[in-house]
Structure 1
């Protein structure tokens, strides 16, 4: 049963190619005898200060020395501690190169089947020589050595070595063994040597393989060898880049040619004491895995990430703080005043520096753990309801740096919050961020803040200039539109000039000598007619008086006579002469009046345009002159205002080569805001020019910002616009007030271009319409505080050219996460609770998995998840399995290669087995 490594996959030195004394070829170990050589060898091993975790004891067609090494360990002679020792059998395979040097292949076997290797493998390897067939067992190789030397008396050791030196096999025979023994193949890693002398590249010139892409240049046999192998033995950086798909050929081409992407291993290949654990240039083979054969298998699935050839531990390449341990000193109630849920006492949950995944079923305590920890630190939110019990029974260890173990802080988690910088994204937080109301602008604003882009702001001076100009423009328009009761535009220059001409002509007309005579005679005739009319009135009154006097006298006579008729009544004929004289005089007067009236009427007709009294006309000349002067002043004022109106109209509405209108300046200001944001974005993305960032930090930021661009747009929100326009419509006069389609048809504004076209060509007509509340209309269009409700400049983040506002909420969350990580401090650990709840599965597979794989190199990433792909295909270094047994929360941890953890993933996470299979096949050619 494999030992458990609770901290998960860690970087360790694996030397899988080390020989021992008695190796069948090129034995240069010091000592007069084989026993002495072994003694010296053991001393060199024990005295080495190199921290080697796993050894691959190597020999040609033999595991004899592997068992010798294991025996020395068991006997306590080899005291240096190794986590694992594996048998490595080096084979020589046909065909040979032009120099007749066989191709070397290595078979590294699972140590758990080492007792079966002799019978299941070496006994089945066959070589035919001179019609005789031999296997690779020791006795058969001794027989072959004697036969080949034609010397049956050779001692066993010499014959054994000679047999090994001449023993070669074919690739087909080797393939047949593994095809017929599936268990053997599953417990074997086949590694091709890539040396130019005795490796695969020795078949043809080494450089041709990398430079020439012509398929015909790839030797068929060599291609078969690469496809047959699981890995490569080479420390050459060019080899490594090629076999992981980072050289002249892309991944798929390498997979097609070689069957899979392949890790490159390296060992000291010690054939002498001085080479033990001393590879060239101290470039050790670092493998990030449990020191188990299952751990070794993982490298085949992650050939780039899990193996490095370097003189120092790859974990030290980047300085990063990390949470290293969470310890529950005693059983602890999770919540205050509740005892139905407890954290169980443990000796500590050691945390990996890279990607830590916490899994478990619903209610098993996976999110409870991260929420409890996060809530103990300043500035962190948590999503669980209830009050956590913080009494110091939980201890958290925090390494401020991974470069040494000296700078460690230990926190007992209490009610007093601690100050440690890390990012905690609690469950559902990203979805909340990208689903806010007015989400397009809110998301853009969040992105702007993350990238520290300048907030778009309209020019306040321009805004005031527009408002002032419009106010004056409308005042002048109202001045020229003023009318009298007859509908005359009383301030128009045309109307005033007509008034000026009429008065001027009138004055000129009445001041001629002829007209003065007429007016003087008119006054005289008027006086004469008045006198005649007075006389006529007197005659009429006399006539009436005479008649009345006769009647009054007759009444008195009747009264006096009584019944007698003594006194005669007076007859009208008595005064006939007087009456006739009266009538005659009246007739003369009437004729004279009629004559004078004709004369007067003629004069009045001639001066009919004057409505006043003609007798005072000549006396009113000064008044008319004053009116003329006033009108001329009005004309001068109107002309000045007309010029001002023309200039204002041009200033506001019309542009030419020498002048930009205020409306075009509005548009230009928005375009300027766009330019400013794009400039800010360019500065943000110009990672190389940023001071204070080291190369690794720049690499992180570039990686996170890859495929991210912004389009800055002037967004015209048509619905909000017409929502405001509604308030400018006088519903009592215009029935379209509540009809949105009718409004759109009337205003004909449906985008930004038609908006500015309306301002230039239609705004004035609408402003002057009696169907419109003009002031409201003006403010909606020209007051920036109103306009910004529907007209905004903001950045739209694009991922691979795709508009972020046109993708799903989950996809937005993923890209938002990339932005957030790119703009936060580079070394902060990040804890992310169930990202799959916020992010699309497609993006998890295509984007987030890759992101986490890259990100974990530079900072610790801890995720709570129920998504198998985030655990398996992101190649989590550590998996913590949460469980709840009768209210007791427990946590066990280990690596993906740990069989217990592996089985838990498949049990707990839906699609776990599929995820493992997908990972296994990721870099392999599918048959």
Structure 2
């Protein structure tokens, strides 16, 4: 019990047993203890107070307690005492601290009862009142110098505090210091209006608890239920919970539904074969500096594959290596939001492996099990580089923007392809003047041949060569078309259609039958495409034969062509050059035609680029709105922080990247800044240069600088398009920008920022107090942690007592280290051993703690 620290359990504060005169048990007497504990277990009651009427039976209590302990059930000794108060007396449930009142086979409870019932007969009757009023009863109890508390029984029923006492008496009693000190709860407060009236009379509120007031085993657990949050099966733990009732007492069952780490186990290294169990709520790793707190935090981070931040990354990596050592392994057991259990294992230097409850590897990431876990190591909270605010918010909303990153990559690739097409097209268009000049030169040379009559003599060879080129071109185009058809045939969409036609519906079978017919008709096109490919292939082979035939004819005419060339004897004219010139003339004319054709599609490419840019901006706006929604939630959830966001507002980031991208362009600082202010990002700059004739940029730079900028963009546009201007987030803490606060105040703001999130299963922070002051920890951080911990698992490594003590840490892990081994002892703040560890580690030992307490008490009027 309490392996995971403090936990919610069902409690019954009003139990009677066989020793009570009013209790009826019809079974075998030697079976009573077993039957009684069995019923408690069936009702899931893990804490009970034995409160028989005006009576305490030591042997029976010891027998019940011994048996209960075997079932992880805690029983406390008590008595239901009828005191002389009000109209008919009132029933009080007195709970005794066992260590004080019971010593082995002797006890002081009956001695007290003998005192208050002195001279009164038949005291075991439930309506028999003792000879003391409430004040006298407390005075008698206090005379023993032993600890106890009083719970007012069934306050609205006969002999109940509210039923028997009028408003004046309640006001009078509740003003007494002894009443406030010892009366700490009311049982069976049922009526809301009466409870409000009771609180008005008293001037303060006490918790309402439940108890079955059972008169038989069958009645155990009857009526309303009561739950208590404790971390130790002791009187002190129960009383602490009753005094902190706002956080530790409930009439509703509290089940943790959020994902969380259940345990961390080390195999090998400095924590070999040690397993640490964690609470779903607040876990505090405590220890002196250098004790190994950070090592455990970093081992968890490492196993869950959560990357360390830039701040002190090398140190954090070395910490893990030092803890695990070669071959060391971390095993983290996790429960997800659906109460399914998993194990994450990681050997030092290897990848993480996620296993299901059957020990099978399932190939998922930790983020699919734990919802947006967050980690902040030492120095992370004081890391304030440009854009840290957006990085932090991105951690918090990680999964909500993940698909934006994928879509943005696709759009950037698409935009880059279209820009590449435009550059290629522009390059070709730039060749047009050269092509025309080359054509003019060739035509001039051909005219010389024609003027000498050689065109007639050589025309047959030239015509055959032209025919050969045309047939060859037809062969190439047919084969390119065949490739396109094969790509269409292998389309993944066509493959998926094969699966779609097999789908059936339980709800609308007829509709899906018709769907299958249509899908099948589309799939039939696949066969038609295959047939077309066959026809095209056949034509390709035929054209190949034609090419071979004309090449054979040209080969048979080689001697004829050679004879014609030998008969030509004109100085400075080589007959072979004429054929080459005609071939080049034909080729250049085709190139010019192709360039002229591409000139017509330039507008289409430019339109696609503008469309890509608009799609990109719309996607960035959608992402911006996700951030903005989160910021509005943060602003609503607390009053210390105020966040704002500006779309593409981080101009400093854009400015720095401009400087890096355009090195060597001789642009000065002020001009870079002007470019960053007049363009939202690199994509806007590139579009201005490429599509808008540098309308904006040309007014900012010289002609020589613009020329250099164009060259650099042409070389680096793909990388530049991927650089985005981040959104700018400003965080104000108590009305002042966070960057203008001290390190401690900035860190405080960031911790509040982190704690204000609603979608994180796990938040790990290593020693936040290094950058915080105690007042801020108590006034703001602890308050927020206590509010959030029922729905978020926190793991803090700390050497500040405020976090585990004032945060009411459900699990405390006290860490100690020698040169060879790191050890961890766990327990809640209710646990005496852990309390001593906190005093020793965080307060400098008991003597220092006592001395400070003494001094602080002397300052109570300060």
Task: Name the TM-score, length of structure 2 as normaliser.
Answer: 0.54
1:431–1:810 Cα contact (<8 Å) kept = no
2:263–2:332 Cα contact (<8 Å) kept = yes
Residue 135 in 1 paired to residue 88 in 2?
A: no
Which residue is 1:29 aligned to? 24
Residue 846 in 1 paired to residue 795 in 2?
A: no
Q: Return the match for 1:343 from 271, 288, 299.
A: 271
Determine the C-alpha separation between the residues in 1 that align with 2:194 and 2:296: 43
Q: 1:297 to 1:775 in 2, by over 3 A?
A: same
SS of 1:202's partner is helix
Q: Return the match for 2:741 from 792, 799, 807.
A: 807
Residue 888 in 1 paired to residue 821 in 2?
A: yes
1:365 CA displacement = 1.3
Which residue is 1:817 aligned to? 751
Residue 196 in 1 paired to residue 156 in 2?
A: yes
Which residue is 1:264 aligned to? 208
1:367 CA displacement = 1.0
Deviations 1:415-456 (A, max 9, x none): 2232623635343343343x325889999999999998999x
1:686 CA displacement = 6.5
SS of 1:304's partner is helix
Counterparts of 1:55-134 in structure 2, within 5 Å, are 55-63=48-56, 65-71=57-63, 81-96=71-86, 100-115=87-102, 120=108, 123-124=111-112
Determine the C-alpha separation between the residues in 1 that align with 2:190 and 2:733: 33
Determine the C-alpha separation between the residues in 2 that align with 1:681 and 1:217: 58
Q: Return the match for 1:285 from 218, 227, 243.
A: 227
Which residue is 2:46 aligned to? 53
Which residue is 2:138 aligned to? 175
Q: 1:38 to 1:223 in 2, by over 3 A?
A: farther
1:320–1:402 Cα contact (<8 Å) kept = yes
Q: 1:911 to 1:403 in 2, by over 3 A?
A: farther
Determine the C-alpha separation between the residues in 1 that align with 2:89 and 2:393: 64
Counterparts of 1:265-664 in structure 2, within 5 Å, are 265-276=209-220, 278-281=221-224, 283-310=225-252, 312=253, 314=254, 316-328=255-267, 332-333=268-269, 342-346=270-274, 348-381=275-308, 383-385=316-318, 387-388=321-322, 389=324, 393-401=328-336, 404=339, 407-409=341-343, 411-418=345-352, 420-421=366-367, 423-433=373-383, 435-436=384-385
1:266 CA displacement = 1.9
Deviations 1:878-917 (A, max 9, x none): 1111111343211111121221111111011137879999
Determine the C-alpha separation between the residues in 2 that align with 1:122 and 1:263: 28
Counterparts of 1:665-684 in structure 2, within 5 Å, are 683-684=629-630
Structure 2 residues not aligned, in runs of 5+: 354-365, 406-620, 654-698, 706-724
Using the TM superposition, name which of 862-871 and 818-827 deviates more.
818-827
Q: 1:808 to 1:448 in 2, by over 3 A?
A: farther
Q: 1:824 to 1:349 in 2, by over 3 A?
A: same
Q: 1:910 to 1:21 in 2, by over 3 A?
A: closer
Q: 1:436 to 1:294 in 2, by over 3 A?
A: same
1:679 CA displacement = 8.1
Which residue is 2:494 aligned to? none
Determine the C-alpha separation between the residues in 1 that align with 2:101 and 2:127: 20
Determine the C-alpha separation between the residues in 1 that align with 2:624 and 2:640: 16
Determine the C-alpha separation between the residues in 1 that align with 2:128 and 2:60: 21
2:53–2:126 Cα contact (<8 Å) kept = no
Determine the C-alpha separation between the residues in 1 that align with 2:398 and 2:35: 63
Determine the C-alpha separation between the residues in 2 that align with 1:255 and 1:872: 33
Aligned length: 563
1:21–1:41 Cα contact (<8 Å) kept = no
1:803 CA displacement = 4.7
Q: Return the match for 2:760 from 812, 823, 826.
A: 826
Which residue is 2:4 aligned to? 7
Q: 1:114 to 1:436 in 2, by over 3 A?
A: same
1:436–1:442 Cα contact (<8 Å) kept = no
Q: 1:711 to 1:396 in 2, by over 3 A?
A: closer
Q: 1:378 to 1:57 in 2, by over 3 A?
A: same
Q: 1:704 to 1:907 in 2, by over 3 A?
A: farther
2:58–2:107 Cα contact (<8 Å) kept = no
Which residue is 1:770 aligned to? none
Residue 20 in 1 paired to residue 10 in 2?
A: no
Task: Name the TM-score, length of structure 1 as normaliser.
Answer: 0.51
Q: 1:72 to 1:230 in 2, by over 3 A?
A: closer
Deviations 1:453-478 (A, max 9, x none): 999xxxxxxxxxxxxxxxxxxxxxxx
Determine the C-alpha separation between the residues in 2 that align with 1:380 and 1:5: 32
SS of 1:908's partner is helix
1:288–1:307 Cα contact (<8 Å) kept = no
Deviations 1:775-796 (A, max 9, x none): 799x9xxxxxxxxxxx999554
SS of 2:10's partner is strand
Which residue is 1:161 aligned to? 124
1:853 CA displacement = 1.7
Q: Aligned Cα RMSD in Å?
A: 5.5
Determine the C-alpha separation between the residues in 2 that align with 1:305 and 1:402: 23
Deviations 1:753-784 (A, max 9, x none): xxxxxxxxxxxxxxxxxxxxx9799x9xxxxx
SS of 1:280's partner is coil
Q: Return the match for 2:187 from 206, 231, 234.
A: 234
2:5–2:812 Cα contact (<8 Å) kept = yes
1:872–1:915 Cα contact (<8 Å) kept = no
Q: 1:263 to 1:801 in 2, by over 3 A?
A: farther
Residue 836 in 1 paired to residue 826 in 2?
A: no
1:292 CA displacement = 1.8
1:703 CA displacement = 8.3
Determine the C-alpha separation between the residues in 1 that align with 2:197 and 2:352: 51
Q: 1:393 to 1:871 in 2, by over 3 A?
A: same
Structure 1 residues not aligned, in runs of 5+: 126-133, 146-158, 210-215, 334-341, 456-674, 688-700, 721-773, 780-790
SS of 1:875's partner is coil
Q: 1:409 to 1:808 in 2, by over 3 A?
A: same
SS of 2:303's partner is coil
Deviations 1:37-72 (A, max 9, x none): 785675354355233322211123321x35323236
Which residue is 1:144 aligned to? 120
1:861 CA displacement = 1.3
1:824 CA displacement = 7.3
Determine the C-alpha separation between the residues in 2 that align with 1:167 and 1:678: 72
Q: 1:839 to 1:72 in 2, by over 3 A?
A: closer
